[in-house]
Amino acid sequence: MLLQIKDLKVNYAGLEIVRGIDLDVDKGECCGLIGESGCGKTTVGLSITKLIPERKGNILAGEILFEGRDTLKLTSEELRGIRGKKISYVFQEPFSSLNPVFTIYEQIRESLEEKDNPDARIADILKNVGLEKIIGRKNIYPHELSGGMQQRAMIGMAIASRPDLLVLDEPTTALDVTVQRQILELIMELKNKMNLAIIFISHDLRIVFNIADKIAIMYAGSIIECGPKGKIASNPAHPYTIGLIDSIPSLEHRKKLFNAIGGKAPLFSELPQGCKFYPRCRFRIDKCLEKEPELENVSHGHVSRCIRIGDIVRAENRHNLQA
Amino acid sequence: MNKLTWFGLGIVGFFIIVAIFAPMIAPYNPGQIDIENILTPPSSSHIFGTDSLGRDLFSRMVYGARISLMVGFIAVGIAAIIGIALGAIAGYYGKWVDAIIMRFIDIMLCFPTFFLILAVIALLEPSIINIMVIIGATSWMGIARLMRAEILSLKERDFIYAERAIGASDLRIIARHLIPNAMAPVLVSITLGIAGAILVESGLSFLGIGVQPPTPSWGNILSEGKAVMGAGWWMMLFPGLAIFITVLGYNLLGEGIRENY
Amino acid sequence: MELLKINNLYKTFKKHRVCAVDGASFSIFKGEVLGLVGESGCGKSTLAKLILRLIDADKGSIFYKGKDLLNISRNDMRKTRKDLQIIFQDPYASLDPRMKIGKVIEEVYDIHKNVSERDRKSKTIELLETVGLGETYLNRLPSELSGGERQRVGIARALATDPEFIICDEPVSSLDISVQAQILNLLIELQKRKNLTYLFISHDLGVIGSICDRIMVMQSGRFIESGSYEDIFKNPQCQYTRTLLESAFLP
């Protein structure tokens, strides 16, 4: 296993917003981390190399084993050797992630793992990320590229050091749909070519169903369901996941009301007793209030944090989502 | 808010209270002449000493605070009304309205303000009202520019489009939605402007063309002190300190507001 | 019945020297949900603002009940605004940050005097309840609300004039998926109950496909294809429409 996150707990602005996360990612595997805004998914991504701003948050407990070493115990010197080298990040806004006063060429060169003969290597990277157009043009600045091309450049910088793990935090959210599609195809292609492990953080189930091998769904700071893509799509075993899937606009349900989740996500300052999804759940019973459920096996490799797993799977005869 | 801002607020509040309650705070009538006690140094009966006519300096300073602050507030009030109105109109309507107002501001900024004031006062008579109006009428340009800049960005926000979509009139949009949301930087400018106006008033009074004796203002007390500098150091020290501390207070407060928005 | 007829509408932004809307002509019929799909910068939001005269068109005409909206007095236009409303994309930008929720609605009544002074408060509460909020929201500020709640306030404000036609300009694009479904439900219900007419603008063909009767596809300021839901989804004619469909991850 390349990366193992064990019982990660993170405090942010005085509140525990990551409340015990376990997640494994293997070489060549794409793990989708799904959740709505403010559920803690970005914090999980940042924690992997301790990128959380120190004044605001701190990691309370847990282990993050990367190639067997706990990154949380590394010195900042050692972390710098991993960050941007073995573990690379791509964030949502390409334009604010790129430095406007340096050329694309300079920025990619900075990320190279070996500095000799950079031109050939940079040309190779640009070709890999579909930026053949600017090969050999060393004076191109970020603002001269479109949003999609900027994101390609960001991905180029991320893979320049031949990383093992890529953390993508909403990499396509700021892009147009047609460009989004191209970027996702690029990510898939690179994953296969470089045998990359990917953590793909997103709020959009449709995208994750297309790109991920494994999906973890977060709600209020913990994972409430995790499993292989096919199982989550065809056989979701948590009421929240079911609600999310039902919220996807679908042509079969044209002009009909969505079977939407009611209410809104709780604030971390006022989390409910017992199951955190209880107030919005359509399957709730009094027993759910007793204590927060543990993750339980649904089938091999598929877990759900719901005490009514059996009833739900039977109650909901879901139409099969083709991913 | 940081400590310095509180300190500034404290100074400003202190002088405002002194000005409001002047009759209760002043131990003597500020105009009461006492030939027997000319230029006595600070003592227990006259804590700031007396001036060249034997008047109690402390009482004159307390009443002077009234004049200085009043000039500061009203002059900047006039500047704020002109600046906010013209800035908002220029920013909201744009095009030729904006062009005319902005060129007018450019012209106003070309005049050396202090000499303009000197010239106008020389033509009119140097009364408190004239001074307030003339300071106000020559110091609104910064406020207008700030207001315009804020409104230019605010008017493209969706909530302004929404107001227009529900049929709100221009006046309602400007007065109820744009100006209140644009006030933060203007407030900073106003606070700093009060300090500036107090300085200008002191300067004019010091030159003898501001507030006219026997009405006490910090500036003209300072001016009287200049004549007797060798014999009565207190006549220059206390009004000078008062002006310095007040201006410092408004500047600290202004900086504090700027940082908190 | 034809509710709005738009003829040859043009708009160029001088500063950027781009033609944002390049000759738009179409009709909107009473009670339909007309979808407008396109990517960012294609001119769809500009078109929305042109139709409501929130920005001025360079040329063209917009007929509403026999009147050309581009050729009536400001006063007439202000009265007509009652019938034509808009819901914006970003619920964080579409509410005055200093205005309490109750006041947002009451202001509409204040402008149009369509509700007596005495009934204003009860009407405001009733309207907030219609959109799934309630009396407890009257004295809250936008900053205390979630994105979904703010969007509901935006919808309530649009409904306060009792309009016939609402432009929904990407009303769910900045919302989380579960909230998006809630808001779409609300819009669908309102449309049926009040027989509203929508111009529904979105970049998301999934959303467009699930609620629109007719669809127009826009690219670089022009309509490149328009037709019924079946035409566009089952038998697209333009390459660009096909690309959009392929990119939309329709499950």
Does B28 fall in a domain?
Answer: no
Residue C159: closest CA among chain B residues belongs to which residue?
B166
pLDDT at C210: 87
CB contact C86 to B (< 8 Å):
yes
- The overall longest dimension of chain A from CA atoms, in Å, is 67
Name the interface residues of A facing C (CB cutoff 8 Å): 36-37, 176-178, 180-181, 203-207, 209-210, 243-244, 246-251, 253-255, 257-262, 264, 321-323
**Which range (A100-114, A186-200, C217-231) has the least confidence?**
A100-114
On chain B, the residues whose CB falls within 8 A of the CB of C96 are: 159, 163, 177, 181
CB C176 within 8 A of CB A249: no
Question: What are the CA-CA distances from residue B121 to residues C44, C46, C188, C217 (Å)?
Answer: 59, 54, 70, 68
Mean pLDDT of C120-140: 89
Query: HSE of B169 in the Cβ direction (CA atoms, 13 Å)?
Result: 7
What is the DSSP pairing of strand A30-34 with strand A197-202? parallel
pLDDT tens sequence across A174-224: 788 888 888 888 889 889 988 999 999 998 888 898 889 999 999 999 999
Look up the CATH number of the domain holding residue B249.
1.10.3720.10
pLDDT of B153 above 60: yes
CB B106 within 8 A of CB B142: no
Hey, are the CB atoms on B159 and C85 less than 8 Å from each other? no
Which residues on adjacent β-strands are paired with residue A6?
Answer: A63
pLDDT band, residue C196 (cuts 50/70/90): very high
Domain boundaries, chain C: 2-247
More confident residue, B174 or A318: B174
CB contact B172 to C (< 8 Å):
yes
More confident residue, B114 or C105: C105
The rounded percent of chain A whose pLDDT value lies above 70 is 97
- DSSP summary character for residue A86: T
pLDDT tens sequence across A10-56: 988 888 889 989 999 998 899 999 998 888 888 898 888 888 887 78
pLDDT of B201 above 80: yes
B98 lies in which domain range?
3-11+51-260
pLDDT of A319 above 70: no
Q: What 3-state class would DSSP assign to C220?
A: coil
Does B256 fall in a domain?
Answer: yes
The rounded percent of chain A whose pLDDT value lies above 90 is 16
pLDDT tens sequence across A220-261: 999 999 999 988 988 888 999 998 988 888 777 787 888 888
Does B165 fall in a domain?
Answer: yes
pLDDT of C125 above 80: yes
Q: Testing the interface with B: which of C15, C53, C54, C56 to mutate, by most B Cβ within 10 A? A: C54
pLDDT at C250: 57
pLDDT band, residue B99 (cuts 50/70/90): very high
Mean pLDDT of A100-127: 83
CB contact B21 to C (< 8 Å):
no
The rounded percent of chain C whose pLDDT value lies above 70 is 98
Mean pLDDT of B25-31: 82
pLDDT at C119: 86
pLDDT of C121 above 50: yes
Mean pLDDT of C138-158: 91
More confident residue, A231 or C249: A231
ipTM of the complex model: 0.88
On chain C, the residues whose CB falls within 8 A of the CB of A181 are: 246-247, 249
CB contact B167 to C (< 8 Å):
yes
C-alpha B57 chain-centroid distance: 23
- Mean pLDDT of all residues in chain A? 85
pLDDT tens sequence across A82-92: 888 889 888 88
Does B240 fall in a domain?
Answer: yes
Radius of gyration of chain B measured on its C-alpha atoms:
22
More confident residue, B229 or C209: C209
CB C31 within 8 A of CB C188: no
pLDDT of C251 above 80: no
Tell me how far apart the alpha carbons of residues B98 and C66 are, in angstroms, rounded to a whole number.
Answer: 36
pLDDT at A313: 63
Query: HSE of A88 in the Cβ direction (CA atoms, 13 Å)?
Result: 22
On chain A, the residues whose CB falls within 8 A of the CB of C246 are: 181
Instruction: Give the nearest partner residue to A243 out of C40, C178, C247, using CB atoms.
Output: C178
Question: Mind telling me how many Å the CA of C173 is from chain A's nearest CA?
Answer: 10
Regarding chains A and B, contact by 3 or more CB pairs under 8 A is answered as no
pLDDT at C249: 65
pLDDT at A50: 84
Hey, are the CB atoms on A258 and C185 less than 8 Å from each other? yes
On chain B, the residues whose CB falls within 8 A of the CB of C50 are: none
Mean pLDDT of A69-77: 86
Does B43 fall in a domain?
Answer: no
Mean pLDDT of A101-117: 82
CB A8 within 8 A of CB A57: no
- What is the count of structural domains for chain B? 1
pLDDT at A323: 31
CATH of domain C2-247: 3.40.50.300
Q: What 3-state class would DSSP assign to C80?
A: helix
pLDDT at C32: 92
Does B174 fall in a domain?
Answer: yes
Domains of chain A from N-terminus onward = 3-218 (3.40.50.300), 220-315 (no CATH)
Burial of residue B137 (number of CB atoms within 10 Å: 0-12, 13-18, 19+): middle
Instruction: Give the nearest partner residue to C54 out of B165, B172, B180, using CB atoms.
Output: B165
pLDDT of A320 above 70: no
pLDDT at C199: 94
Query: Cβ–Cβ contacts within 10 Å for residue A139, how many?
Result: 10
pLDDT band, residue B213 (cuts 50/70/90): confident
Radius of gyration of chain A measured on its C-alpha atoms:
21
Mean pLDDT of B142-160: 92
Of A230-244, B77-91, C113-127, the range with the highest mean pLDDT is B77-91
Tell me how far apart the alpha carbons of residues C216 and C201 are, in angstroms, rounded to a whole number.
Answer: 10
Tell me how far apart the alpha carbons of residues A37 and B33 are, in angstroms, rounded to a whole number.
Answer: 75
Mean pLDDT of B162-189: 90
